[in-house]
Chain A
Amino acid sequence: MEHVAQHSDPHYDQEASKLGMWLFIFTELLLFGGLFIVYAIYRFLNPEAFQMAGHELNLTIGAINTVILLVSSMTIAMSTSALQKKNKGLTVLLLEITVMLALIFLINKYFEWGVKFDHGIWPGSEHLLNDMGHGEVLFFGLYFVMTGLHALHIVIGMIIIIVALNKVQKGTVHADRPSLLENAGLYWHLVDLIWIFLFPLFYLIH
């Protein structure tokens, strides 16, 4: 709209957009918080089944993916610093690396889920419903829901980062107007943070 374009600069409020992003992150945390409560309750009710089922997950891929996400969090944080130092080329490069790492995470996830599907384990599969106990059904149900929802957030995060990347290249996001990139970074850290909780809950606790 015209009037928005005319007045967009005086209306630009970096603090406001950061506050808005933090509030949005609260809602995301509560969204996953609901799932963590469900997980905690069913783990409490079925400790042994959850332990046994946890052994079925591939610890190596999980650990690799954890490292990948941590490194990607680092690269996006570095890209923000690079933007502040007005190094556009480095900012773009670091963002590209971040997107690549996110993609590798998803590819790993694809293979990890693929192996489970080959074993006849997916939500509502006959093998799961007929041959396994309630605890296993719940464990794998939650595993697919929580990692699936997390993967969806990875995809959304990638889209946001790619948008930010384009705007850095075009020059609409720069050292004096870094909000979009900073918010993309915040969101990406959130996605990372959730994985930091998912990884031990599903792969590590025995």
Chain B
Amino acid sequence: MQTVSQLPDEVNYLDYKGKYKGIFAWIFSTDHKRIALLYMYSMLTMFVVGVVLGLAMKLELIAPGKTIMDPQTYNSVFTVHGVIMIFMIVIPGLPAVFGNFMLPIMIGAKDVAFPKVNLLSWYFYVLGAVLVIASVLFGNGAPDTGWTFYAPYSFKSGTNLLPAIFGAFVLGFSSILTGLNFIVTIHRMRAPGMTWFKMPLFPWSLYGTAWIQLLATPVVGITLVLVALERIFNIGVFDPALGGDPILYQHLFWIYSHPAVYVMILPAMGAISEIIPTFSQKHIFGYKAIIASTLAIAFVGYFVWGHHMFTSGMSGTAQYTFSILTFIVAIPSAIKVFNWISTMHKGSINPEAPFLWAVTFIFVFMIGGFSGLVLGALATNVHVHDTAFVVAHFHFIVFGGVGFAFFGAIHYWFPKMFGRMYDKVWAKVGWAFFTVGFLTLYSPMFYLGMMGMPRRYYDYLPEFHAANILSSLGSWVMTFGLLIIVINLFRSAKNGAIAEINPWHGKTLEWTVPSPPPLENFDEIPVYGEKDGPYEY
């Protein structure tokens, strides 16, 4: 590969002075790197809201009976927590932040294919967030249906649901535009000589993700529109009183929302696939197997939605089929885990913060995955359906998967994004508190669920008290870890030591450009030769 020459006086993207000043230099910027940071800061804002709501729920559950809020408030709190965390954090999370920032650089491009559409997608994101917040602040009561907006309650509830539903719709549109942009970017803008199988794994995972975003999101879009119309006009499609079928709503909802789980997890796996070879200083084991499993997950993930509805009323045949497909989708995930472990084997491991996040990702992801198999099996599903077990499972996958990968990715790419290195000791301290808190918070819920504690209740029987106290304590430890991480990163972005171009000795293209990268990333577009691969150690 050619070494990329860089003029020393080139202005980096953070200091670049364009036509606009102040905040407008950011919110009117079509630079993919600035848009990535716009996404990151808006997500951080919403994440804080989501975390506070989560803490409030755990505080309510610290003792049986009413602790700090009444049942109706609790319903609204878990609904808004879910809507924010799912639609605004974990679905856009890695693609919108690290995808936007790193994808063009990793494939040797100057920007994404449609920079203006990229900025538009962020505007839609903000609009969606504002709509959801409006549903909380105005009208008669915050939404209380749960983030799934299940029919018929979603059009019977007297709370202010319409803005939240439209907010979710608009957020979906934002996600579609990001996906569309990434597919075209990957097809059209790879560096000369970078064939498909010379592309690094993070772009590959974004490619699989983008197809899911593109093909699944419209279905939930129209479903949410139908619920909204049902609320306004009584069109009848999901209303059993008018001949409609509420189960049909669940089908249409999960046809999107299950693949959406893979929208969350695939880019997380992609980021892990970048971190592990770098910190093992070894070629990734089974490069093609990881790509194949990415595409397999993206494909099979479309056909497992029914496992959310085993107890809703489905034919036996449908249940067996969805159960088997659910087990099948676990296989490609397991392949990835084996590949990551094999990459580490006999590697020269450098246990920096990103690597610690990556290995804990594997650990919590496996717990989440195995508990998913418990839920995918028909008999056990009936036992633990709608209990705290389910909550524990999807927090291990969604928060454990995406959260750990996100923190891994931010610690990995931080020196590139901001040109400064964070305090490595505090990064590890934050990781330790977060991990211990995370496990203390969610592990007891597996036990509680198996003992029969239902989810989405503000109250519980006295025998569940001890485990709930433990879980609530965990939520404080985890939040403390979170605070350390965020403060450390914020301080370091300003005052950290100046970072080298390639502090981790990574082999992908982003480590060949200066930190932070200049406005158009490359002076000269890199060219891949015959023998260059995605990772050469």
- A residues contacting B by CB (< 8 A) are 1-4, 7, 11, 13, 15-17, 19-20, 23-24, 26-28, 30-35, 37-38, 41-42, 46, 122-124, 129, 133-135, 137-138, 141-142, 144-145, 149
The number of chain B residues touching the other chain, given as a range, is 35 or more
| Residue from B30, B110, B183, B242 within 8 A of A129 (CB atoms) | B242
CB pair A144–B183 under 8 Å, yes or no, is no
Q: Is B176 within 8 A of A138, CB to CB?
A: no
How far, in whole Å, are A23 and B213 apart by their CA atoms in the complex? 11
A3-B219 in contact (CB<8A): no
Cα distance A42–B244 when bound, in Å?
A: 8
A134/B236 in contact, CB under 8 A: yes
15 interchain pairs (CB within 8 A)? A11-B110, A13-B188, A16-B189, A17-B114, A20-B180, A35-B222, A41-B245, A122-B233, A123-B234, A134-B242, A138-B236, A138-B237, A141-B233, A142-B235, A145-B235
CB atoms of B229 and A38 under 8 A apart: no
Which of B31, B176, B181: most chain A Cβ within 10 A?
B176
Asked if B508 CB lies within 8 Å of chain A CBs, one says: no
Contact of B243 among A23, A24, A34, A135 (CB under 8 A): A135
* Chain A neighbourhood of B233, CB < 8 A: 122-124, 141, 144
Which DSSP category, helix, strand, loop or mixed, fits chain A's interface?
helix
- From residue 210 to 256 of chain B, which have CB atoms closer than 8 A to chain A? 214-219, 221-223, 225-226, 229, 233-237, 242-245, 248, 252
CA A46 – CA B181 in complex, angstroms?
Answer: 42
Q: Which residues of A contact B31 (CB under 8 A)?
A: 1
A134 and B237 contacting across the interface, CB-CB below 8 Å: no
Q: A24 touches which one: B28, B180, B242 (CB < 8 A)?
A: B180
A30-B302 Cα distance, complex, nearest whole Å: 13
**Which of B221, B237, B519 contacts A3, CB < 8 Å?**
B519
- Give Cα A122–Cα B244 distance, bound, in whole angstroms: 17
- Whether a CB of chain A sits under 8 angstroms from the CB of B187 is yes
C-alpha spacing A29/B328, complex, angstroms: 28
Residues of B within 8 A of A2 (CB): 18-19
Contact B19 A16 (CB under 8 A): no
B114: A residues at CB distance < 8 A: 16-17, 20
Alpha-carbon distance A135/B519, docked complex (angstroms): 59
Starting from the known contacts A7-B110, A16-B187, A123-B234, 17 additional A-B residue pairs (CB-CB under 8 Å) come to: A1-B28, A3-B519, A13-B113, A16-B114, A16-B189, A20-B117, A24-B180, A31-B221, A31-B222, A32-B222, A34-B218, A46-B243, A134-B243, A138-B237, A138-B242, A138-B244, A145-B226
Chain A residue nearest in CB terms to B252: A34
A42's partner among B29, B218, B237 (CB-CB below 8 A) is B237
Chain A residues within 8 Å of B117, by CB: 20
Across the interface, do B214 and A23 meet the contact criterion of CB distance under 8 Å? yes
**With known contacts A3-B519, A3-B520, A134-B243, A23–B237 Cβ distance under 8 A:** no
Bound together, the chains give a CA A33 to CA B255 distance in angstroms of: 12
| B347 on interface, CB distance cutoff 8 Å | no
Tell me the minimal C-beta distance from A159 to chain B in angstroms: 15
User: How far, in angstroms, from A26 to B219 measured CA to CA in the complex?
Assistant: 11
| Bound complex: CA A31 to CA B189 (Å) | 28
Among B117, B219, B235, which residue has the most Cβ atoms of chain A within 10 A? B235
B218 in contact with A27 (CB, 8 Å): yes
Is residue B64 contacting chain A, with contact meaning CB distance below 8 A? no
A28 to B245, CA, bound (A): 24
B184 & A20 in contact (Cβ 8 Å cutoff): yes
Is B115 located at the chain interface by the 8 A CB criterion?
yes
Interface residues of B, Cβ cutoff 8 Å to A: 18-19, 28-31, 110-111, 113-115, 117, 176, 180-181, 183-184, 187-189, 214-219, 221-223, 225-226, 229, 233-237, 242-245, 248, 252, 519-520
Beta-carbon contact of B187 and A137 below 8 Å: no
A123–B236 Cα distance when bound, in Å, is 8
Check B187 against A34 for contact (C-beta < 8 Å).
no
Other-chain residue from A27, A33, A123 in contact with B229 (beta carbon distance below 8 A): A123
Q: Point out the residue from A3, A30, A31, A138 that lies within 8 Å of B18, measured CB to CB.
A: A3
> Nearest Cβ distance between residue B248 and chain A, in whole angstroms?
6
* CB of A36, distance to nearest CB on chain B (Å): 10
Which residues of A lie under 8 Å from residue B183 when comparing CB positions? 19, 23
- The CB with the most chain A CB atoms within 10 A, among B111, B183, B234, is that of B234
Say which residue of A1, A16, A24 sits within 8 Å of B188 (CB atoms).
Answer: A16
Residue in chain A with minimal CB distance to B229: A145
B471 to chain A, nearest CB (A): 38
Give chain B residues whose Cβ lies under 8 Å from the Cβ of A122: 233
A135 to B110, CA, bound (A): 55
Nearest first, the 8 A-B pairs at minimum CB distance are: A134-B243, A141-B235, A124-B234, A123-B233, A34-B222, A31-B218, A30-B218, A16-B188
A20 to B18, CA, bound (A): 28
CA distance A13 to B18 in the complex (A): 24
* A contact residues around B216 at 8 Å (CB): 30
Q: Name the distance in Å between A25's Cβ and chain B's nearest Cβ.
A: 11
Complex CA distance for A145 and B242, rounded to whole angstroms: 16
Q: Could you tell me the distance between the alpha carbons of A122 and B229 in the complex, rounded to whole angstroms? A: 12
Which B residues touch A28, using CB under 8 A? 218
Residue of A nearest to B230 (CB): A141
The reply to whether A30 and B29 contact each other, CB–CB distance below 8 Å, is: no
Q: Which residues of B contact A46 (CB under 8 A)?
A: 243
A34: contacting residue among B219, B236, B245, CB under 8 A: B219
CB of A129 within 8 A of CB of B222, answer: no
> Once bound together, how far apart are the Cα atoms of A128 and B180, in whole Å?
41
Q: A34-B222, A138-B242 are in contact. Are A20 and B248 (CB under 8 A)?
A: no
A186 to B289, CA, bound (A): 37
Task: State the CA gap A38–B234 with chains docked (Å).
Answer: 16
Closest chain B residue to A32, Cβ basis: B222
CA gap between A33 and B18 in the complex, in Å: 44
